[in-house]
Chains A and B, each alone.
Chain A
Amino acid sequence: MISQFLFEIPAKFAAEVNAGSLIRVGALLKNPSTGKIVAHLQETGAGQALLSKVAAGSPLGIAANMIEAGAAVKTSIDVGQIKKMVASLQTLQYATLGVSMVGLGVTVAGFAYMHKRFDALDVRFSELSNILQSGFNEQRQATMRARLSQVKGLAKAAGQAHTLSQPGLEYCRIAESMSEQAAHFEGELEFLIKAEGKMNLEVFWQLAQLLTLSNSVRIDCRMRSNEMKNAREIAESVAEDYQRLFDPLSVASFKDGDAVLLTKTLREITDAAMTKPYLIEHLRTQHANGAAYLSRIESETEEPLLMLKVA
C-alpha cells in the first residue's frame, strides 16, 4: 500500500510540456512516446479556498475575468496564489485560464467548498427567477428550491461525517442521496437542451454546476469510504453522461452571455471527467486509502494545484 503520495508542482513539468515530450489529456499528463501516464492534476484545499471566494455562484464571465485579472474580491484573497494558479494552468496549456479553474473545481470535492458553492448557486437561482419564470413553472421552481436545500444539507453532512465512529456508512448514504440529486439536475439540463430555441446561458451554467458538483461529491464519498472500484465506475458513467449532454452543444446553442467561454469550459469539464477514472484506478491499484489521499489534498495550504506523480 502506498503510504506516501508523490506530489510535484505543475511548473516542474513546464519544460517537457512545452517541448511536447509530455502532453495534457484532460486532467493528466502522459508521455506520447510510451503512452504512459506521468502525473494527475489535482486542485488542493488551498486552490478551492481561493475559488470559493472568487468563483462560487458568479456568472461565468465575471468569475473568469476576476481570476484572469488576479483581482481580489475581498482583501483576504491572496493575489499571489491566484497568479500561481493561472501560471500553473498556462504551463499545462489550458485553452482558457480562469474558466478552466472553474471547470477544474470538481476534481476534488472538499465539502466545505462544495457547501459554499451550493449555497452560492441557491442564491444565484433566486436572482435568476425572472428568467426562470419563462421556462420553469412554479412547481418546477419549488422542486428546484427543495433540491438545492437537499444538496446543501448533504454537503454539510459530508463535511461532518469524519466525526462519526463509522464515517464510511454515512459517506455511502450521502453518495446514494447525491446520486438522486444528480439525476434530477441531469433531467433538468436535458429538458433545457431539448426545448426549442436557444438556451439562456446563465440558467444552463447554474444547472451544469449543480450537476457537476453533485457528481463530484458522489465520487468523493465513495473514495472516502474506500470503495475505489465503485468510485471509478461512477466516474466512468459520469464521463459518459457529460459527453452525451455537452458534446453536441456549441456557441450557437446559447443566448445572453459568453457562449465561447461556456463552450470551452464544458469541454474542459468533460475532458477532466473522462480522465478522472484513471486517477482513481491508479490509487486503487496502488492500494491507496481514498480518505487518506483526499485528506492530504485538502490539507495542502501552500500550493493551489499539485501534480500526483505516477511512478
Chain B
Amino acid sequence: MSVWRKLLSFFGLRSDSLHLPALNSDTPLTFELELEDLDYIRYRRQILDWRDNFASQLLADAGKGFQEFKQQVEKEISDVGILRKVFAKPAAEVLKEDFDQLVRAPLAKCQADTAMALEKMFQGCSHGLAVAPIDPQLSILEDISFRAAKQDEVVSSLRRLVFDDGGMIDAYLKPAQVITQSLLVAYKQKQ
C-alpha cells in the first residue's frame, strides 16, 4: 500500500472518495448571468438620457435667456431719464417683467416640453416635474436701486439666482432626479 493510501486510511478516507469526475472541457458551462438584465441597462440609459437632455437644454436655454436679459438690462440702464437717475426705482420692480419673459419663460417651456417627452415614454409620470417659481418677486435684489452704478451687482445677483446651487436650474432638476430614481427602482422591483 502506498504511503498516500496509508495516510488516507488513517484518517478514515478512501482514496477514491477524493476522485473528482473529469471535467469535459468541450462542454460549455452554465451561463450564470440573466440576459433580461440587458433590458434594464437599455431602459436605464433611456431614462438617464431623458434627464441628461433636460439638464443640457435647461442650461442652454438659461444661458441664452440670461445673455439676452443682460443686454436688455444694459439697454434699460441707458434709457433711464435724468429724473430716474436721481430717484431710481427698485431694480426688482424695473426688471421683473424682462426677467420673467427672457429667463423664466424659456425655462418653463423647457420643463413643459420635457414633461411631454416623459409622458410619451411613461404615461402619468410627468406631474412630478412641476416646480413652483423660485423668488418670483426677485427679492434677491433686496433694495438695490436701478442705476448704472448698480448694474453689475444686479446682474450677478440674478445670475446666482439662476445658475448657483439652490437656484432655478437646480430647482427644475431636482424633481427630474427624483423621477429618474423612482422609475429605475420601480423597474428593478418589477423583475
Contacts and interface: CB of A to CB of B under 8 A. Distances in A.
Given A252-B169, A271-B41, A275-B38, A281 B33 contact: yes
Contact of B30 (A28, A243, A285): A285
A63 interface: no
A285 B59 contact: no
Q: What 4 pairs across the A-B complex have the smallest Cβ distances? A: A250-B55, A285-B29, A1-B25, A251-B55
16 contacts: A30-B38, A35-B35, A37-B38, A250-B52, A251-B52, A251-B56, A252-B58, A260-B56, A263-B52, A264-B52, A267-B48, A271-B41, A271-B45, A281-B32, A285-B28, A286-B28
B51 interface: yes
Given A36-B35, A197-B165, A285-B28, A252 B42 contact: no
Contacts of A264: 52
Tell me if B's interface is mostly helix, strand, loop or mixed.
Answer: helix
Contacts of B41: 25-26, 271, 274-275
Contacts of A218: none
A248 B177 contact: yes
A296 interface: no
Contact of B45 (A267, A286, A287): A267
Interface in A233-281: 243, 247-248, 250-252, 259-260, 263-264, 267, 271, 274-275, 277-278, 281
B157 to A, nearest CB: 18
B55 A37 contact: no
Interface in B9-53: 25-26, 28-33, 35-36, 38-39, 41-42, 44-45, 48-49, 51-52
B76 interface: no
B45 A35 contact: no
Contacts of A248: 177
B33 A277 contact: yes
Nearest to A35: B35
B25 A287 contact: yes
A127 interface: no
A250 B181 CA distance: 14
Contact of B42 (A23, A198, A232): A23
Contact of A35 (B30, B36, B55): B36
Given A251-B52, A260-B56, A275-B41, 15 more contacts: A1-B25, A25-B41, A35-B35, A35-B39, A232-B33, A243-B44, A252-B169, A263-B56, A271-B41, A275-B38, A281-B31, A281-B33, A284-B29, A285-B29, A287-B28
- Give the contact-size bracket for chain B: 20 to 34
Interface of B: 25-26, 28-33, 35-36, 38-39, 41-42, 44-45, 48-49, 51-52, 55-56, 58-59, 165, 169-170, 173, 177
Given A251-B56, A281-B33, A287-B25, A25 B165 contact: no
Interface in A138-163: none
A127 B41 CA distance: 37
A297 to B, nearest CB: 21
A197 B166 CA distance: 10
Contacts of A286: 28
Contacts of A252: 55, 58-59, 169-170, 173
A247 B48 CA distance: 7
A257 B31 CA distance: 43
B3 to A, nearest CB: 28
B155 to A, nearest CB: 18
A264 B31 CA distance: 31
Most buried by A among B33, B35, B42, B56: B33
A107 B110 CA distance: 37
Contact of A278 (B29, B38, B55): B38
Nearest to A239: B41
Nearest to B176: A250
Contacts of A30: 35, 38
Interface in A12-34: 23, 25-26, 28, 30
A127 to B, nearest CB: 27
A247 B35 CA distance: 22
A285 B35 CA distance: 15
